[in-house]
Structure formats: C-alpha cells, structure tokens
Structure 1
Amino acid sequence: MLGTGATAAKYVFISMSGKHPEGRDAEYIAWHSLDHRPEQYRLPEIRHSLRLVSTAACRAARAASVGEYDLVDHVMTYMFTDAGGIPGFNILGQALGEGGRMPIRLPSIRYMTADLSGKVAAPRAVAGADVIPWRPALGVYIIIEQGQTSPEALADLPGVAGVCWYHGAIAPEPYEGDARGLQVTYCYLDSDPVEAAAALGEALRARWETEGVEGLLAAPFYAIVPFEWSRHLPTA
C-alpha cells in the first residue's frame, strides 16, 4: 500500500489573524469558505487547506501563548507541494482583490511558511501518516516552538489521530516572515479540542522542561463546520 504513493503536500503557508474588531467573524468565515478559499484550488500546487478558530474555551486551555501569538484567534493553512506555488498564490490573491472579491479582512498577526519535517499516525487511526491531514478532524492542537525536536510521541495521547510537524522557512516575497529555527506542529484531533488540550498541555510542559525547546503557542482550535459559520467563534 505504501508503495503506491506518498503525500506531495510538503510545504505550508500559514496565516494567523486576530478576531474581527466589529465581531464580524462569522461573516468573514462564510465569505472565506464559500468564495475565497475554493478559488485557491485553481493552483495545481495547492493540495489541501484548513481553517481553524479559537473560542474563549480554547483560549483558556492554552499551554503557551507568548507575545504576538497571544493575539491569534484564526489560523488558515494552505498545503502546497513546494514553495514554487507562492508566486501564483500571490497573483491570484491580487486578481481576486482587484475583482472586488475580498470585501472583508481580519487583523493580520503574521504569515509563516514551513517545510514538512515529519509525520506520524496513531495506530488506532488506521489511516496512514501521509493522509492524516485529510482524515476528518474536530480540530487541531497547534504548537509553535523555538527549537526543533520530534513531537511524534504526542500521537500516543488521547484524542490525537496523528501529528505532522514542519520546520520554519523564510517566506517568499511579497510575504514577510523568517520562521527559521521554529517548529510548527499540527496534532489532528478526533475528540473535542478543549478536552484533548489537558493531556497535550501536560505533555508539552514536560517536553519544554527536558527537550531544549521553548513553547510560544500551544493551543486547541476548532475546525470550521460548513454552513454553521457561527458555531465556533472567538467571542463565543
């Protein structure tokens, strides 16, 4: 089975934003999900995407939330085959803006790009590590650390179906951001993210004490539920 192929999605573009200053988060999520995000699949380099939201309960369950990362309420991730897809991604974004297709924005916190470093699936998940990002998930526990060591042991924790981790890179123009030295980990969850956060937080605090990495953000996020745009919001 493994000989038939492996994931080609080995590069991520991550956009982190704050909540809308006027409380228009649900309106933004609906527009992005129905209008903006589908258009990105015109680009052959994009293989997957994922929008996540931090509720008040998610925020209270964070194990780390340092500096600018404390402002993050929304995370949008695009999975590319490689960095060569970024120029087209930028051109498409400009075209959508010029065509009046970007009527609402969230406060941008930072952009980040990163290269796939490792992946592992929990044995109980059955689906292999290459396809864990496509397996249905209730949410993701996102970890951003200064320093880079394998987090694969997190896949043994309750509610974690699999883990993918990335090493930060310099974002291509026109996006600014140098994430070198950072590690970004996605723990894909098939149990409630807030409930899963307790065991994950405990494991991460032990990791930071013994493995020479520093936690900058360690937080549960809910996945968007299609057509239930108000179900998970930062103000909820």
Structure 2
Amino acid sequence: MQLPGTPSDEIDDVLATGRGDITTLFVSMATRHPEGKDAEYLQWHTLDHRPEQHRLSAVRASMRLVSTPACRAARAAETKPYDAIDHVMTYFFRDPSGMDGFLELARALIGGKRKLPLLPPVERGVYDVRSKSAAPRVKVGADVLPWWPVKGVYLVLERGDAPADSLRTVDGVAGIWSAATLDVEARLASAPAGQTVTYCFLDDDPLATAERLTPALMARWEGSAVEPLLAAPFYPVVPHEWDRYVP
C-alpha cells in the first residue's frame, strides 16, 4: 500500500510539534526457558509484568522480541555469549533517572508475589539513543518508530560505533534506531562500555529481510572498525498467541 502525502521527517511544521522524549533504552537479553515453558513465560510477561511498567511516566514504550529456530538459522553473526539469546525485552525511557522507579516497581511487584523467575539472562544494558531515521515510504517520522506496528525487528549488537543509516535502504527496513551503552551501576546492567545496539524496524517478514540484510552487514563490517557480536532477526510477541513464535 502506498500511503499518501509527505513523510513527517520532511515536514518542518510536524517536527515543530514534538520530537518525542525517549533518550534511553533498557535492553534485557535472555536465553530460552530452561524447561521449555517459553509460551507460558511470554503470557505472564505480556499480560501482567509488562503493562505494569507503563504506570511509570518515564516509560514511554516497550517491545518484546523472540527468536525462532528459523530466526537463529538466518543470523548473519553470533558470538559467545550472545549466540544464546532467544528473547529480547526493551523498555524505552524518557531519561536514565527513570530506572529508579523501574527498580522500585519491581520490588513492589515481588512483594505482591507477582513475579515469575526470570529467563536466564545473557546481558542487560542501559543505552543512550544516538541516531534515528525512517524510510520515507512509511511516512511516519523516525521519532515514533517504537509505536509503529512492526512485522519484526532485525537486531544488530556490535562492539564499536559506526553509522548504520545505510541499512535503512534495504527492502523491508522501515527505519532504524541506534544506541550506545551508558555507564551505570552494576545492579542495573552488565553491558560493557563501547557497545552499540541497532534496531531495524521491519515491515516485511524478518526472515526474508534477514536474507537481504546479510550482504549489507558483511560490507559494513568489512569497511568499518565495528565488530559484530550478534546480528539476528526477531519476531514480536503476538498477544494471546503465546506459542506462535517461540524458541
């Protein structure tokens, strides 16, 4: 479908009304459930835990992603320990200070016995948003991509930093956000300094887009100082179809 009109990022009057206030990402990466109860975990997290986070004014959006066996086979890069990642949960914060309320709410929910054991973690990181861009064909501006209905996300985790906007030209990539690790307390995150995460928001099937992205990623890594840690397609959780996309 060809949507009408001029892309938002090309309309000064639209941008003047607001650019969004997300500056910080909390990214939790985990392995599959040790007993194969991924669908049950996704049900609890999506119906109970994740909605509660939005009572915090600092939490502006959230996104849960899952890697299927086919997604794992389509990865362009994976290194240990990141090759074990099958679940990615992202909260989009107004600023890093929002993490204080985030931890307070977690303690309160635990006090109410509302917490399941977490999936085995691989890494948690707090990231500073550095760049955003949207493909003109989708019309919506880069600022609102976290609320845009994706078919999936291609996640690129790298050591080092280099512009990733060129990936936006690949068919199926509707837009890109990139962020770099912040120096925070160890109780909040374990991601090392100098690490970047890029979200390619997709409007085509993640597996089909992954095939098209692989040559572009290979060229990126050959022509820059960044080192790939994980480059992988993911599906979003489909509410009430908990076993549709599981590891």
TM-score normalized by the length of structure 1: 0.97
Q: 2:144 aligns with which of 131, 149, 152?
A: 131
The separation in 2 between residues aligned to 1:110 and 1:98, in whole angstroms, is: 25
Q: 2:202 aligns with which of 171, 189, 199?
A: 189
Q: Hey, what does 1:66 align to over in structure 2?
A: 79
Q: Hey, what does 2:6 align to over in structure 1?
A: none
Deviations 1:114-136 (Å, cap 9, x if unpaired)? 00000000011110111112111
Q: Give the AA of the match of 2:30.
A: S
Tell me the CA shift for residue 170 of structure 1. Answer: 2.1
Which of 88-97 and 176-185 deviates more? 176-185
Preserved contact between residue 120 and residue 152 of structure 1 (Cα < 8 Å): yes
Tell me the CA shift for residue 108 of structure 1. Answer: 1.1
Preserved contact between residue 124 and residue 191 of structure 2 (Cα < 8 Å): no
Output aligned runs, 1:38-117, within 5 Å: 38-117=51-130
Q: Give the AA of the match of 1:101.
A: R
Q: Hey, what does 1:167 align to over in structure 2?
A: 180
Preserved contact between residue 145 and residue 201 of structure 2 (Cα < 8 Å): yes
The separation in 2 between residues aligned to 1:169 and 1:63, in whole angstroms, is: 26
The change in CA–CA distance for 1:48 and 1:3 in structure 2 (over 3 A counts) is same
Q: Give the AA of the match of 1:56.
A: P
The separation in 2 between residues aligned to 1:163 and 1:70, in whole angstroms, is: 22
RMSD between superposed Cα atoms in Å: 1.0
Q: 2:35 aligns with which of 7, 17, 22?
A: 22
Preserved contact between residue 113 and residue 179 of structure 1 (Cα < 8 Å): no
Tell me the CA shift for residue 160 of structure 1. Answer: 0.4
Identical counterparts, % of pairs: 49
The separation in 2 between residues aligned to 1:67 and 1:80, in whole angstroms, is: 28
Q: Give the AA of the match of 2:36.
A: G
The change in CA–CA distance for 1:53 and 1:198 in structure 2 (over 3 A counts) is same
Q: Hey, what does 2:244 align to over in structure 1?
A: 231
Preserved contact between residue 123 and residue 191 of structure 2 (Cα < 8 Å): no
Q: Give the AA of the match of 1:226.
A: P
Tell me the CA shift for residue 68 of structure 1. Answer: 0.9
Tell me the CA shift for residue 94 of structure 1. Answer: 1.2
Q: Hey, what does 1:198 align to over in structure 2?
A: 211
The change in CA–CA distance for 1:56 and 1:178 in structure 2 (over 3 A counts) is closer
TM-score normalized by the length of structure 2: 0.92
Deviations 1:135-194 (Å, cap 9, x if unpaired)? 110110000111101100111101000000001112335224243211110000011101
1:218 aligns with 2:239: no
SS of residue paired to 1:67? coil
The separation in 1 between residues aligned to 2:183 and 2:197, in whole angstroms, is: 14
